[in-house]
Structure 1
Amino acid sequence: MDTLKHYLPLCWFTLNPLELIRSVSFFKNNLIFYFIVEFFLQANMTDDPIESFYEVSFETLLTLLFIWVMLGLNRSLYGFIQVTAAVVFCSNVVSFFIIPVLVWLTISENTISYYLVGILLAWDYALTTYIFKRVLVLNIPASAVVSLIYAGFTYFGAYTLGQLVQ
């Protein structure tokens, strides 16, 4: 719980991920929670649990691979646990808010629910941009491009690999 309190201010753009506590157990728990939440969201969209399992597995592996390569190229691989935990934790926090909005969207298809999903996805993108900006010491446009590449690599890559397996 103490580690959670250290990571939570990151969601308000106030911390440097490399200065966070290095906790392997927190990292593992976040990764498991991330997998479960993403599986729930994916299964809700595709109606095929096997396909969802493949895509979420690939998405998780591609997330880990992207961050590992990015940090390796930046010669800051020592921060892999903190940075990956930060990215996954922020995604989990946003997902915590997205799930009820998606349920509301599915039930009512209210226009406001679409706007809320868009705002929450923009928040998730902004958090990833902020984390990459602080870790790689980039300006905002460059970190936004890295975040866009990250999103394309993980989500489009997972979808593509999932289709190849099926």
Structure 2
Amino acid sequence: MNLLLQYLSLCWFTNNPADLHPSKSFMWKAVAFYLVSGIIVESLIADPADGTLEVLLRTVMAFSTIITLLLIMRKWDYFGQLFTAIFICENFIMTLAIGAEALDLVMVMEHYENREEVSIGLAVFLVVWYIAIVSYIFRQMLSFKMSSSIVTAFSYFVLTYGLPMLFMDI
């Protein structure tokens, strides 16, 4: 539980993910939660089969992107720490997204007049926060400059969310 709290504190831009050393069990539990929470969110938005496929594609893209980045930078030793840090923080954001989806459902059922604005606002906030967290993780783990970490985090977001979404639209 202590290790989880240390990883979650990355969401508030404290701790250094390089100082955290997850066990193999902890790492794979983070991946399992990532898959389950992602499938829940995508199934609320789209067809469950399509949502599951999109989450699996996102997972492959996330691992591929992290592996490629670390191989290029010759910092393969950080693989477990980096993917765990990103996945734990993404799991936190995804949990908030599930709450946002539930709120959206309630607003639809209550015929809330500004439902779209609230939902879009929450989505934008969560995406910006997610990119900021991933940027922080890259900056801490890989000693990137601020601008490089933001560009890399945005690129990571596009690769892990944009490409699978594009693939699903084809």
Whether the TM-score (by the shorter chain) exceeds 0.5 is yes
Correspondence for 1:115: 121
How many Å separate the matches in 2 of 1:87 and 1:154?
12
Shift of residue 116, structure 1, vs aligned partner? 2.7
Q: Compute the RMSD of aligned alpha carbons.
A: 1.6
| 1:97-136 alignment runs, 5 A limit | 97-108=96-107, 109=115, 111-136=117-142
Q: Is the 8 A contact 2:65 2:156 kept in 1?
A: yes
Q: TM-score, normalised by structure 2?
A: 0.88
Which moved further from structure 2: 99-108 or 154-163?
Answer: 154-163
Match of 2:18, SS? helix
Unaligned regions of 5+ residues in structure 1, if any?
none
How many Å separate the matches in 1 of 2:149 and 2:62?
16
Q: Is the 8 A contact 1:102 1:117 kept in 2?
A: no
Which residue of the other structure, out of 143, 148, 154, is the alignment partner of 1:148?
A: 154
Q: TM-score, normalised by structure 1?
A: 0.90
Number of residue pairs aligned between Structure 1 and Structure 2 = 163
Letter in 2 for 1:6: Q
Identity %: 28
How many Å separate the matches in 1 of 2:169 and 2:125?
29
Unaligned regions of 5+ residues in structure 2, if any?
108-114
| 1:1-166 alignment runs, 5 A limit | 1-46=1-46, 48-108=47-107, 109=115, 111-163=117-169
Shift of residue 19, structure 1, vs aligned partner? 1.3
Shift of residue 149, structure 1, vs aligned partner? 1.0
Q: Is the 8 A contact 1:10 1:16 kept in 2?
A: yes
Q: Tell me: CA distance 1:41–1:25, structure 2 relative to 1, closer, same or farther (3 Å).
A: same
Q: Is the 8 A contact 1:94 1:124 kept in 2?
A: yes
How many Å separate the matches in 2 of 1:38 and 1:152?
16
Which moved further from structure 2: 87-96 or 7-16?
Answer: 7-16
**Cα deviations by residue, 1:79-107 (Å, 9 ceiling, x for unpaired):** 11111000000011112222112211233
Q: Is the 8 A contact 1:55 1:162 kept in 2?
A: yes
Which moved further from structure 2: 56-65 or 97-106?
Answer: 97-106
